Amino acid sequence: MKKTLLFPALFLGTMLFAQEYAKNWHLQYSPKDTLFGIDLNTALSETPQPATAKTVIVAVIDGGIDIAHPDIAPNLWINKAEVPNNGVDDDHNGYVDDIYGWDFLGNSSEDIQYDNLELTRRLRELGKKFEGKKSSEIAKADKEDYKLYKQLIKIHKKEYEEASVLFQRYSTFHKYVKALTDELDSTNITLEQLKKFEPKSSEAKVGHSFTVGNCSATGTKPKDFFEGITEGYDYFYNKVKYHLNLSFDPRSNVGDNYTDPKDNAYGNHEVKGPDAEHGTHVAGIIGAVRGNAIGMDGIDPLVQIMTLRVVPDGDERDKDVALAIRYAVDNGAKVINMSFGKAYFHNKAIVDEAIRYAVSKDVLLIHAAGNDSKDIDEESNYPTPRYEDGSTCKNWIEVGASDRDQNPADFSNYGNETVDVFAPGVNIYSTVPDNKYKDNSGTSMAAPVVAGIAALIRSYYPHLTAEQVKFCIESTVIKPEQKVKKPGRKKKKTKYSKLCKTAGIVNAAAALKAASQLK
């Protein structure tokens, strides 16, 4: 999933910073306090846990999870048929020592951290076929691919130029801000303390002026501002060096036959990977331990989290996604969370086949709608519930992101034919690696909110089918009456009925109550 910065890119010279939200607001529902979360406490108090309740496995297909995090470790799925670290495939499923799941991004000795966008990979692939050729030289059967090739050249050029400009800007800001922070004893200071600080070097003075000005204008804490500059610098650096770099292709490090979707003999059992922040955050939203007086609470008290690493810093690959879905299904997952997406695909057919397989085994798939402020009825965000033959997956929930005021997040994708529901996805406080916690924003956060509700229903009422769980969630949404700002538009307002099929935001209390009434 395209990363959504808490501190977005520079816009006309002013840094735009996220508003502070109450911790765990997404679990609450208090209109008088403008906290329009999912009302989880009411759900758990008004619908007692049935005696027939069971644990449910939720597969988190993501960028890795810190399995040592104390708020997640007790709720991890463990493959009891496998003997840890003996180098043997004890359960004969094709994966050696897969205790917590599997990492499809690497080999036995190393992991892939960075990869291209699918845009870059498709352009490189088509370039081998068409580069240097004229339209008149293209065979009729290749005309559509050649047309796509020409389109991708223009799109890639635009994105690369924009990323390069923003990287240069952030490089400058990062240089000055780093000079300032190098002179500070601690970055965790107040704005008033920073105003009184007198920097020594000329670069630190520029960083001081820049930081004080932005923090004064936005009400942002200096520490958050410093982190935002670093985050933006890293993001655009990676976009230029890896995501859009046609000369960079790390797949050979994996060692698989990438063109063969049946070749699954690759990867490793080290499911954390080099950067597990995103996946750990997602996992915490679904299943952080409840009531342990540390950090935050997940949604489902009976969940087991299965870890499947397929998302690098860049776009995931269809082969990895398809194999991860199949692994999840074969190992008992009843809900799959997919907080990732991309604008192009490489092999949609194998992903479609894996999705159909999940449906055949009564698995519910939850997918994040994406963070581009676009209508995905018109511009797809893959994978999608639409199969290549035109039919639609019946066990799928596509999720947009809302804020605490019931507004759609400005970054959220939408579509009243494709997006099913909205869910809290702005400033969501959850687990991150090294026993820490953090606010993150994105449809990547909204999807696990829905996955958590789905898991809660399937835990309480294991006899319900995936379609019934989907019905309970979608038929009980809260439908805001007021018009809301359309994502990505400064002034234009619309209704939720124009943004998603159900015209509303999920509510755990209502969904669980509805589930209790189904036979």
Asked if 50 contacts 460 with a C-beta cutoff of 8 angstroms, the reply is yes
| 358/338 Cα distance (integer angstroms) | 13
Spatial CA neighbour of 235 closest among 8, 443, 409: 8
Which range marks the domain in which residue 150 is found?
118-243
For the beta carbon of residue 206, count every other beta carbon within 10 angstroms. Answer: 18
- Same-domain check for residues 161 and 232: yes
Does some domain include residue 22?
A: no
The tens digit of pLDDT for each residue in 362-417 reads 999 999 999 999 999 999 999 999 999 999 999 999 999 999 999 999 999 999 99
- Core vs surface per residue 216-240: b (16+ CB within 10 A) or e: eebebbbbbbbebbbbbbebbebbe
Question: What CATH number is given to the structural domain containing 62?
Answer: 3.40.50.200
Secondary structure (H, E, C), 291-329: CCCCCCCCCCCCEEEEEEECCCECCCCHHHHHHHHHHHH
Say whether pLDDT at 3 is over 80.
no
| 461/455 Cα distance (integer angstroms) | 10
Does some domain include residue 72?
A: yes
First to last CA, the chain: 37
Does some domain include residue 318?
A: yes
- Same-domain check for residues 357 and 484: yes
| 207/159 Cα distance (integer angstroms) | 28
- Same-domain check for residues 49 and 160: no
The whole-number average pLDDT for the span 314-335 is 98
For the beta carbon of residue 99, count every other beta carbon within 10 angstroms. Answer: 20
Which pLDDT score is estimated for 1?
Answer: 53
The whole-number average pLDDT for the span 169-187 is 97
Spatial CA neighbour of 406 closest among 282, 274, 506, 517: 506
Which pLDDT score is estimated for 19?
Answer: 58
Q: Which residue, of 243, 265, 298, is where some domain finishes?
A: 243
| 157/186 Cα distance (integer angstroms) | 41
Asked if 156 contacts 120 with a C-beta cutoff of 8 angstroms, the reply is yes
Asked if 343 contacts 381 with a C-beta cutoff of 8 angstroms, the reply is yes
Tell me how many domains the chain contains. 2
| 112/277 Cα distance (integer angstroms) | 15
Residues sharing a CB contact under 8 Å with residue 30, sequence separation 6 or more, in sequence order:
none
Spatial CA neighbour of 286 closest among 268, 269, 270, 307: 307
Which pLDDT score is estimated for 21?
Answer: 82
Residues pairing with 111 in the sheet: 106
Mean pLDDT in the chain?
94
Asked if 225 contacts 194 with a C-beta cutoff of 8 angstroms, the reply is no
| 422/406 Cα distance (integer angstroms) | 9
| 135/404 Cα distance (integer angstroms) | 52
- Same-domain check for residues 290 and 141: no
| 369/200 Cα distance (integer angstroms) | 47
| 272/100 Cα distance (integer angstroms) | 10
- Same-domain check for residues 122 and 107: no
The tens digit of pLDDT for each residue in 246-286 reads 999 999 999 999 999 999 999 999 999 999 999 999 999 99
Q: Which residue, of 211, 243, 275, is where some domain finishes?
A: 243
- Same-domain check for residues 371 and 497: yes
- Same-domain check for residues 198 and 232: yes
- Same-domain check for residues 76 and 167: no
Residues sharing a CB contact under 8 Å with residue 75, sequence separation 6 or more, in sequence order:
287, 288, 289, 298, 303, 304, 305
Q: Does the N-terminal peptide bond of residue 383 adopt cis geometry, omega within 30 degrees of 0?
A: yes
Does some domain include residue 171?
A: yes
For the beta carbon of residue 190, count every other beta carbon within 10 angstroms. Answer: 12
| 81/92 Cα distance (integer angstroms) | 9
CA distances from 418 to 2, 63, 500 (A): 19, 25, 7
- Same-domain check for residues 278 and 421: yes
- Same-domain check for residues 437 and 500: yes
The tens digit of pLDDT for each residue in 488-518 reads 998 889 999 999 999 999 999 999 999 999 9
Kindly state the helix (H) or strand (E) to which residue 191 belongs, with its residue range. Answer: helix 191-196
The whole-number average pLDDT for the span 104-127 is 96
pLDDT band at 9 (very low <50, low <70, confident <90, very high): very low
Does some domain include residue 488?
A: yes
Does some domain include residue 19?
A: no
pLDDT band at 22 (very low <50, low <70, confident <90, very high): confident
| 19/486 Cα distance (integer angstroms) | 19
Secondary structure (H, E, C), 105-171: CECCCCECCECCCHHHHHHHHHHHHHCCCCHHHCCHHHHHHHHHHHHHHHHHHHHHHHHHHHHHHHH
Say whether pLDDT at 442 is over 90.
yes
Which pLDDT score is estimated for 490?
Answer: 83
Kindly state the helix (H) or strand (E) to which residue 56 belongs, with its residue range. Answer: strand 56-62
Q: Which residue, of 243, 269, 291, is where some domain finishes?
A: 243
Classify 377 as helix, strand or coil. coil
| 283/307 Cα distance (integer angstroms) | 9
The tens digit of pLDDT for each residue in 56-103 reads 999 999 999 999 999 999 999 999 999 999 999 999 999 999 999 999
Does some domain include residue 354?
A: yes
Does some domain include residue 251?
A: no
- Same-domain check for residues 289 and 158: no
Residues pairing with 428 in the sheet: 440
- Same-domain check for residues 76 and 127: no
Spatial CA neighbour of 409 closest among 485, 347, 478: 485
